[in-house]
Amino acid sequence: MTFWPVESKMYLMEKQKKIEIYDTTLRDGAQGESVFFTIHDQTKIAEKLDEFGFDFIEGGWPGSNPKAEEFFNVMRDNPLKHSKLVAFGSTRRKGRSAEKDPYLKALIDSGADVIAIFGKSWDLHVKDVLRISLDENLQLIGDSIYFLKSKGRTVFFDAEHFFDGYKENPEYALKTLLVAQENGADRLVLCDTNGGILPFEVEEIMRKVIDLMKVPVGIHAHNDSGVAVANSIAAVKSGAEHVQGTINGFGERCGNADLTSIIPILQMKMGFKCLEEEFLERLTTLSRYVYEIANIVPPGNQPFVGYSAFAHKGGVHIDAVNKNPRTYEHIQPEKVGNQRRILVSELSGKSTILQKFGKYHLDMRPELVRTILDKVGELEKNGYQFESAEASFDLLVRKILGLYEEPFNVEGFRVIVEERSSGVVAEATVKIKVGEETEYTVAEGNGPVNALDNAIRKALIPAFPYLSDLKLTDYKVRILHPEKATGAVTRVLIESMDENETWGTIGLSENIIEASWIALIDSFKYKVLKEKKQI
């Protein structure tokens, strides 16, 4: 039996100590260049984070834009069950009292449980951006927090650019925290706003700050140096009790600290408590849920939750993992809701076949393994690439082993692309036999592949209703032997997913539409066989 260490011995004293997780996907994450959320998107994500038990969910900056105000109005009628909703904003403006500042009033009127305000802690910003005296900036911070506390609110102070400010003028940076604390701030959050600080600096500075402060201290890291997660971990190691970040690291420029990495590191490797175990085991689902809403294709190499995070391609690796998964996996994939994937390629051998098909409890005789390897080698010479098309590989091997039962029979398809007054439209016609019935359907789409997808669904969903859960998440085209110009072979890779799994299929043809059709059909067949428990 294989055992993974849950945490290092050096952290046993901290076991089960709670670390507050503060999500800012809806505000800071939405500032990412490719990220856009509708109000409906925001409420769905907030409800999902609430279901997972995140401590704090930052909803936006009321007063800065109508959309943020609308979100808080919606949430007022749909209160969270577990998490605390946070409204984000700034300290009062210069030349205006806290009582008369419209932005502070908007924070109060939002109805949020918690208010997080940011203030300048770097003297460079005070002088060059606010263009006020250092003492006046301290008054902005103190007055704003005192006013919000007088209204009975929990208040977090985000010390913007704190680490840069501390490195250049530590005495003043600390003064901003002390003023916030003296006026009632419930949390002091040190922000690496430019993302330029390094983990060893975070440890040193965080320890000094915590020794001086009486209220819990947190970290808000950006990823411009590629170490936002490492900085967040370093902060907790030094005593921080509160971590801010976003799902999948969404955020401006290079993004924010990725909570889908921070949470399992803190909980599984350091023994802290972030989420209940049942929700940690659904972390991959949460990651992909947010990607889907944001309409962003998930990067395969994302730690813990990525499609390739536990994918093994080299034959030596696969052989070792088959004997003991700890040899090439730092945690059990299932602990974060992910799964091990054994890739088939020219780098793998018989260990790959044995590992992938151990789930069928078959006596894989040497001649069968050799037949499969020979077939894979033959197809790869022609341009097939199964490492990203495991579903097509599964179907292929099932046919070789005599385990394949055709779920439906394809009798033909046709695609027409024409220009109409409304623009260019694709129309697809498919003829598919399901059982004794032949379905002949027509559908339109914004392109030939989309039209084919719609027509296939129209034909199959009456017999297989669960196909409505099938989503195509990625479509890649590769031209093989481009020197043949328009006669070159095209390889199409399609990535599909349902609520529980992601899989890839492949099609190869000199005709891009036929290659797409082959990959599409494989995806639908895989889903049907999976639902029938035949895969």
User: Which residues are catalytic, by number?
Assistant: 317
CA separation (Å) from 88 to 17, 157, 310, 431? 27, 10, 37, 55
What is the spatial distance between Cα 117 and Cα 110, in angstroms, rounded to a whole number? Answer: 14
Which residues are CB-neighbours of 295 under 8 A, at least 6 positions away?
none
CA dihedral 73→74→76→82, nearest 10 degrees, is -140
Quote the CA–CA distance of 170 and 287 in Å, as a whole number: 38
Query: What are the backbone dihedrals phi and psi of residue 292, each rounded to the nearest 5 degrees, phi first?
Result: -65, -45
Helix (H, G, I), strand (E, B) or coil at 272: coil
Token pair in block for residue 294: 């944001």
Report phi then psi at 328, rounded to 5.
-135, 20
- State whether residue 292 is helix, strand or coil: helix
Across 5-71, where does the E strand assignment appear? 20-23, 56-60
Convert 145-183 to b/e letters by CB count within 10 Å (16 or more is b). Answer: bbbbbeeebbbbbbbbbbbbbbeebeebbbbbbbbbbeb
Q: C-alpha distances in angstroms, 241 versus 55, 162, 227, 299?
A: 12, 17, 19, 30
Quick check: 134 and 173 in contact, CB under 8 A? no
Please count the CA atoms within 13 angstroms of the CA of 136 that sit on its side-chain side: 13
Residues 375, 338 contacting (CB under 8 angstroms): no
Could you write out the DSSP letters of every residue in 433-482? EETTEEEEEEEEESSHHHHHHHHHHHHHTTT-GGGGG-EEEEEEEEEESG
Tell me the two tokens of residue 167.
Answer: 């490195």
**Token duo for residue 260:** 């889908």
Distance in angstroms (rounded) separating the CA atoms of residues 510 and 448:
16
Short-list 104, 22, 30, CA closest to 71 = 30
What are 309's two structure tokens?
């995070």
- What distance, in Å, lies between the first and last C-alpha atoms of the chain? 25
Altogether, the residues listed in the chain come to a count of 535
